[in-house]
């Protein structure tokens, strides 16, 4: 409930400061005029315009009145005016906000456009009209201020009530036959009270500043009355001879402005439930030991393009550190296409992003070895990475609707940042056209001048793929590259990628949850589960029947042309473990039909199984027992 959340305000320094300031202002407003009221009004011809002294801490004004007493006394008037104006705005705003309910659609639209124009009018302009009508004075200024803020509250109420109108609980209340009055007091009011309260607090501060500026100009409080703005206005002509008279009212305005501003922000923070965030990033990354070196580690196979050994990726969260990638080792050779498969949450995408150094910078990426074509990637700074690797590693991202920049033309996004030997801009454009054409995008020249929103989702995905190919990278890392495409285009795009690697010997690391896509594209498959590689094998070995029960379950959940339509597809019962769950033993044990006690206590390591496969399982299956056929 909102009330309890607001009530639960603890004592952070900001909250404390805001509370102390607001309480002090309110107390001063109540007692100020009683204590210092007389002193503030009575002129003293013997002490005209005196500088601050023991008798008059902040000096006297040109009539000999004590400045401090006047500032303290003026607290009430300044505050009451600000609160009054805000109250007026809330009442009028509620009326304006409620109007659309009773008005027709046409009138509603007119009202909306009136509100938009009205909102643009600053308080001074509104005050000019009210002053012409009513003459200058405190009431006039308050009315002007209230009218200025009205559309803001009107909009707020409109938005809030519209949201609640359609909410489930109000619909339910209506169906239960709860009276309209009770609906409002029990359901609507408590739910809009909180944001309205935040707005009110912020606006009291704003109103106080604006009202003091009106008084300063002579549009507000008139002599002999005074508020802080009026005091400043009166002090201005004498600013050279007695500058101290401006200091106190100025400081009062600033303090009051800060007080309500802070209070509003604190309330807003509490309302959002974000005021006491757990700054997890404070705790250093746990220095857990990296996994044991994989089979064949340290061997300097000169042929390898990418070597990853014992990659571990950790991110800070509210509750501590989470480890989406626990221990991943893999190796890619030029021209080779390797697939990484796993359910969502297996850490496959994070692995790909960590290799390309595109994970969030708050995370920690560690490994025994992260080697690209003889260069230790982990040792490079960002600028060194830009210089030495540049676009030799290209990335194809997952979601075509968010990974293209909506503000830039397709042509710009395709041709920018290419290495110099990529040729002149015209050369780059020609190449972009060729690539788009090859990916079966219609009228590729026109597309270069268009913005992403003018393209369909499938076209955008192909643009992302073309972008990765523009730079003639040696390694393409593709994160779910074909999920947005329909079957025929998907097939075509995969073939293009395949041809490319075949022709110029670049390698690709393709991440997918779809083992079917990978078997048709890759030569080798890495199966990931809960941040670890559980099996790595050639596609032939995979089709012969994988050794790990998880890989086999993935294959079995795949429909083929032979699958009987009536029979439900096999699914894997249970869920993969959460990345920050500590796991002893094999992470898959909880879902595995073959699991025994050992699986739950001892972690199996990758060990060579058959000729072209390694598997991390205590009880691997043998190839012969497999039933499903080729997935393609």
CB of 431 to other proteins, least distance (A): 15
| Alpha-carbon span 58 to 52, nearest angstrom | 5
| Cβ atoms < 10 Å from Cβ of 243 | 12
| Alpha-carbon span 477 to 469, nearest angstrom | 11
CB of 162 to other proteins, least distance (A): 17
Residue placing its CB nearer to other proteins in the complex, 219 or 308: 219
User: End-to-end distance of the chain based on CA atoms, in angstroms?
Assistant: 54
For residue 594, give Cα distances in angstroms to 552, 600, 629. Answer: 12, 11, 22
| Alpha-carbon span 187 to 252, nearest angstrom | 40
C-alpha neighbours within 13 Å on the C-beta side of residue 126: 21
Q: Which parts of 122-181 interact with other proteins (CB under 8 A)?
A: 122-125, 128-129, 131-136
How far is C-alpha 160 from the geometric centre of its chain's CA atoms? 23
Stretch that binds other proteins, among 27-35, 58-66, 117-125, 425-433 (CB under 8 A): 117-125
Residue placing its CB nearer to other proteins in the complex, 180 or 282: 282
Q: Which parts of 518-557 interact with other proteins (CB under 8 A)?
A: 520
CB of 301 to other proteins, least distance (A): 27
Q: Which parts of 222-241 interact with other proteins (CB under 8 A)?
A: 232, 236, 239-240
| Alpha-carbon span 340 to 477, nearest angstrom | 11
Residue placing its CB nearer to other proteins in the complex, 166 or 361: 361
Residue placing its CB nearer to other proteins in the complex, 54 or 240: 240
The one among 43, 163, 243, 295 contacting other proteins by CB under 8 A: 243
Residue placing its CB nearer to other proteins in the complex, 17 or 297: 17
The one among 212, 322, 329, 469 contacting other proteins by CB under 8 A: 212
C-alpha neighbours within 13 Å on the C-beta side of residue 43: 6
Query: Residue 16, interface with other proteins (CB under 8 A)?
Result: no
Stretch that binds other proteins, among 36-44, 165-173, 247-255, 286-294 (CB under 8 A): 247-255
CB of 132 to other proteins, least distance (A): 5
Q: Which parts of 176-205 interact with other proteins (CB under 8 A)?
A: 205
> What is the size of the binding site for other proteins (CB under 8 A)?
95
Q: What angle do CA 6, 11, 14 make, to 5 degrees?
A: 90
Q: State whether the Cα torsion 65-71-73-74 is positive or negative.
A: positive
Stretch that binds other proteins, among 80-88, 164-172, 448-456, 523-531 (CB under 8 A): 448-456
- Three-state DSSP state, 71: helix
Query: Residue 106, interface with other proteins (CB under 8 A)?
Result: no
Helix (H) or strand (E) holding 121: none
Query: Residue 405, interface with other proteins (CB under 8 A)?
Result: yes
Left if phi > 0, otherwise alpha if psi is -120 to 50, otherwise beta: which for 366? beta
| Alpha-carbon span 76 to 318, nearest angstrom | 44
Stretch that binds other proteins, among 89-97, 431-439, 445-453, 608-616 (CB under 8 A): 445-453
The one among 373, 437, 514, 580 contacting other proteins by CB under 8 A: 514
Stretch that binds other proteins, among 26-34, 40-48, 449-457, 599-607 (CB under 8 A): 449-457
Query: Residue 51, interface with other proteins (CB under 8 A)?
Result: no
DSSP state at residue 287: -
Query: Residue 622, interface with other proteins (CB under 8 A)?
Result: no
The one among 71, 207, 253, 478 contacting other proteins by CB under 8 A: 253
Residue placing its CB nearer to other proteins in the complex, 301 or 383: 383
The answer to whether 152 and 191 are in contact (CB under 8 A) is: no
The one among 293, 403, 523, 618 contacting other proteins by CB under 8 A: 403
The DSSP result for 305-355, as a single string, is SEEEEEEEEEEEETTEEEEEEEEEEEEE-TT-EEEEE--TTSSHHHHHHHH
DSSP state at residue 301: -
Residue placing its CB nearer to other proteins in the complex, 523 or 610: 523
| Alpha-carbon span 534 to 519, nearest angstrom | 17
Paired sense of beta strands 507-512 and 375-376, if any: unpaired
Closest CA to 270 of 12, 483, 482, 472: 12
The one among 453, 571, 593, 625 contacting other proteins by CB under 8 A: 453
The answer to whether 219 and 127 are in contact (CB under 8 A) is: yes
The one among 1, 46, 120, 287 contacting other proteins by CB under 8 A: 120
Q: Which parts of 343-382 interact with other proteins (CB under 8 A)?
A: 356, 358, 360-362
Query: Residue 281, interface with other proteins (CB under 8 A)?
Result: yes
| Alpha-carbon span 393 to 403, nearest angstrom | 17
């Amino acid at each position: 409930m909102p009330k309890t959340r607001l009530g639960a305000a603890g004592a952070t320094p900001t909250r404390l400061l805001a509370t102390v300031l607001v309480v002090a202002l309110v107390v001063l407003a109540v007692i100020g005029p009683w204590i210092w009221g007389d002193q503030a009004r009575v002129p003293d011809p013997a002490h005209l315009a005196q500088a601050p002294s023991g008798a008059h801490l902040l000096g006297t004004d040109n009539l000999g009145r004590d400045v401090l007493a006047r500032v303290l006394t003026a607290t009430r008037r300044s505050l009451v005016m600000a609160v009054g104006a805000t109250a007026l705005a809330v009442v009028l705003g509620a009326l304006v906000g409620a109007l659309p309910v009773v008005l027709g659609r046409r009138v509603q639209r007119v009202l909306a456009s009136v509100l938009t124009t009205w909102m643009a009018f600053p308080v001074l302009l509104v005050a000019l009209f009210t002053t012409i009508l009513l003459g200058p004075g405190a009431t006039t200024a308050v009315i002007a201020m209230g009218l200025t803020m009205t559309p803001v509250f009107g909009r707020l109420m409109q938005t809030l009530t519209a949201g609640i109108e359609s909410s489930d609980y109000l619909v339910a209340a209506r169906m239960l036959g709860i009276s309209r009055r009770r609906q409002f007091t029990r359901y609507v009011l408590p739910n809009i009270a909180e944001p309205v309260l935040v707005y009110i607090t912020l606006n009291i501060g704003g109103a106080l500043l604006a009202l003091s500026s009106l008084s300063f100009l002579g549009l507000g409080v008139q002599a002999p009355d005074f508020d802080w703005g009026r005091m400043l206005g009166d002090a201005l002509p004498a600013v050279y001879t007695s500058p101290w008279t401006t200091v106190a009212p100025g400081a009062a305005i600033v303090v009051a402005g800060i007080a309500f501003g802070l209070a509003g922000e604190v309330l807003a923070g509490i309302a959002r439930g974000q005021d006491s965030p757990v700054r997890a990033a404070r705790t250093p990354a746990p220095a857990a030991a990296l996994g044991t070196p994989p089979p064949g580690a340290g061997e300097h196979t000169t042929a390898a393009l990418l070597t990853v050994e014992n990659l571990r990726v950790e991110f800070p969260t509210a509750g501590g550190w989470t480890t989406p990638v626990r221990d991943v080792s893999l190796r890619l050779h030029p021209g080779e296409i390797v697939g990484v498969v796993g359910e969502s949450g297996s850490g496959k995408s994070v692995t790909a992003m960590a290799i390309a150094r595109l994970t969030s910078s708050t995370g920690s990426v560690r490994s025994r070895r992260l080697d690209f074509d003889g260069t230790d990637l982990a040792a490079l700074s960002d600028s060194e990475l830009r210089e030495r690797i540049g676009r030799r590693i290209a990335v194809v991202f997952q979601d075509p609707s968010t990974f293209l920049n909506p503000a830039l033309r397709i042509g710009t996004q395709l041709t920018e940042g290419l290495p110099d030997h990529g040729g002149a801009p015209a050369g780059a454009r020609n190449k972009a056209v060729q690539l788009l054409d090859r990916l079966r995008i219609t009228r590729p020249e026109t597309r270069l001048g268009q913005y992403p929103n003018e393209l369909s989702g499938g076209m955008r995905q192909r643009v992302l793929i073309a972008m990765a190919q523009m730079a003639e990278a040696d390694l393409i890392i593709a994160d779910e590259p074909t999920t947005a495409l329909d079957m025929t285009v998907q097939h075509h795009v995969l073939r293009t990628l395949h041809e490319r690697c075949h022709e110029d010997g670049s390698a690709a690391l393709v991440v997918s949850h779809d083992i079917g896509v990978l078997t048709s594209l890759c030569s080798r498959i890495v199966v990931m589960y809960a941040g670890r590689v559980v099996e790595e094998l050639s596609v032939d070995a995979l089709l012969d029947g994988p050794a790990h029960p998880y890989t086999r379950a993935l294959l079995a959940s795949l429909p083929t042309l032979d699958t009987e339509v009536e029979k439900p597809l096999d699914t894997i019962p249970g869920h993969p473990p959460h990345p920050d769950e500590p796991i002893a033993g094999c992470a898959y044990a909880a879902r595995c039909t073959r699991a025994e006690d050992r699986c739950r206590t001892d972690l199996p390591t990758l060990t060579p199984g058959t000729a072209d496969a390694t598997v991390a399982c205590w009880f691997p299956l043998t190839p012969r027992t497999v039933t499903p056929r080729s997935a393609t």
